[in-house]
Amino acid sequence: MLFKWARPWMLVLAGVMLHGLCPAALANTTVVEPVANDIGDGRIPLASVALLLPTRSGPLGSAADALRSGFLAAYERNKNGLAISVIEAPDTPADMLAAYLAASQKFDILIGPLSRTGITAIVQSGKITKPTIALTQPDLPSDHEAALPQLLLPIGLSIETEARQVADWMSAERGPGKVFVVATNVSWQKRVANAFAQQAANVGMQADVMLLSMAQGVANPGALDQLKQRIQTENPSALFVALTADQALQVRSAVGADTPMYGISQLNSVGKDDSNRLAGLDGVRLLDIPWLLMADKPSMMAYPRQASGATGASNPDLARLYALGIDAYNVTRQIAARNPAFQINGATGKLNVGFGVGTPAFDRAETTAVYENGVAVPLDGR
């Protein structure tokens, strides 16, 4: 049997037993006491869950802490018989693999890691023997992606996936035709541009990718002028910008608003106060998660908001990871209940999940939005 009934004191012992396998893990393990359930209709058996995160890592510490906070916020709202242990796992591939293998001997469900190098090491080990909810995608050759282990469910946020969703959305609204794709030499922007271009080709659009020169955050005036001339000459049906909000504002100011502009969540200027609204982006279409676009929706208000930083400003990237933590917990509950297929209207989007029978499947549809009065608002909520 995959899951087991356990008493609260067994979770305390789990940390001790884990120490014998991975000495560094014990001192950094936080155990949240489970709430015992009686057997009854609709109840799920108690499952032990390990959340493996590098909360003390310099590069990933803040991200791990945000995700952990969201996960535990969802746990506090609906404990429903799950016993959660948060395990500090150093984020080098070897250390993460060691922590994962140790935890897999003691827990029913494992969640993590947060880094691509960590999950890649775990996948390549060939030792995934328990349901594992990965918080990112493994970095594997494309011909290996279809052969992920049946007990692995990657649910991480992906800007490349956002780009592909925007391509489908643009095709539905604009139809086939030429579109311009604008990015800079920054690696994430090139990945997003390429993902969009590939999906655009799949749905019958012709995508022309062009890289924009930037120096200290300022676009090259000559490059902007050249882009404007090409738009006037070739008349693309739309622009896809793999840019930040401030970069997109420079492009919009140079080329005008006649050509529809689309982008991903990095266009959302969430966190700016009224004095910093980006009215120059009004009409620009983008995707982002419900947690940031629909904060006043009852399903979003059910969870506490993450505290702002010392400056009082919110960090949208950390907010997205907090929301991912909420969804990771709710996906865990469904897997603990052994539901082979389920849907969740989550904090990061509408989730469709298949797990436990055949090849795992995961799809996230983020919320479509448009800039109005300098801020992004959901299209469905206008």
| Segment 100-111, tens digit of pLDDT | 999 999 999 999
- Among 124, 125, 104, 120, residue whose Cα is nearest residue 48: 104
Chain region(s) in the chain for CATH 3.40.50.2300: 8-157+301-339, 160-287
CB 323 within 8 A of CB 70: yes
Give CA–CA dist 270/293, Å, rounded: 9
- The amino acid at residue 55 is T
Tell me which residue has tokens 């539901």: 339
Give the pLDDT band (50/70/90) at residue 2: very low
The whole-model pTM stands at 0.86
List CB contacts of 144: < 8 A, sequence separation 6 or more: none
Q: Sheet holding 341-345: strands in order across?
A: 341-345, 350-354, 361-365
Average pLDDT over residues 64-86: 92
Element (H, E) at 82: strand 82-88
The CATH number of domain 160-287, selected from 3.90.226.10, 3.40.50.720, 3.40.50.12780, 3.40.50.2300: 3.40.50.2300
- Rounded alpha-carbon distances, angstroms, from residue 169 to 185, 263, 380: 25, 11, 14
CATH number of 8-157+301-339: 3.40.50.2300
- Rounded alpha-carbon distances, angstroms, from residue 88 to 57, 177, 317, 338: 9, 50, 21, 27
pLDDT (tens digit, 9 = 90+) per residue, 163-181?
999 999 999 999 999 999 9
pLDDT (tens digit, 9 = 90+) per residue, 4-21?
333 333 333 333 233 333
Lowest mean pLDDT among 196-205, 281-290, 307-316, 336-345: 307-316
pLDDT (tens digit, 9 = 90+) per residue, 23-52?
343 334 444 444 333 334 555 557 999 999
Q: Sheet holding 367-372: strands in order across?
A: 205-211, 177-183, 238-241, 261-263, 285-288, 367-372, 375-378
Give CA–CA dist 315/307, Å, rounded: 10
Residue 80 has a pLDDT of: 76
